[in-house]
Amino acid sequence: MLFKVLGARRRQLLGHVTLEFLWLGALVTLAAVPLGLTIAFAVAGAAGLGAVSLLWAGAVTLAAAATLLTVMVGLLATLGAYTTTPARVLRSRRP
């Protein structure tokens, strides 16, 4: 809302928020993919599956999809703030 009050255009706001959620999705992906792969290898080893192969294309695709989903959900969650006036949004907030 601060950028909107200061005169930022809708396109600038959407670009900023998209970049913010893109970074958030990338950081979560950097933590989640190695953790998920570690757990998957541990479960496969405990189940006695022995040699388990890793498909990097699948891991990268999953990471990209998760990042894209984070951006889409973030934009949809904040879309209401861009369609109304700043005064209405700021007045409706409770301390």
Specify the DSSP class assigned to residue 7.
T
Distance CA 33, CA 23 (A): 15
Domain range enclosing 55: 2-92
| Cα(45)–Cα(48) distance, integer angstroms | 5
CA atoms within 13 A on the CB side of 20: 10
pLDDT in tens, 7-66: 777 787 788 888 999 999 899 888 888 898 888 888 888 888 877 787 888 888 888 998
Q: How many domains does the chain have?
A: 1
Summarize the confidence of residues 56-79 as an average pLDDT: 88
pLDDT band at 94; cut points 50, 70, 90: low
In this prediction the pTM is 0.67
Predicted local distance difference test score (pLDDT) of residue 23: 93
Axis crossing angle, helix 10-46 with helix 56-83, rounded to the nearest 10:
150
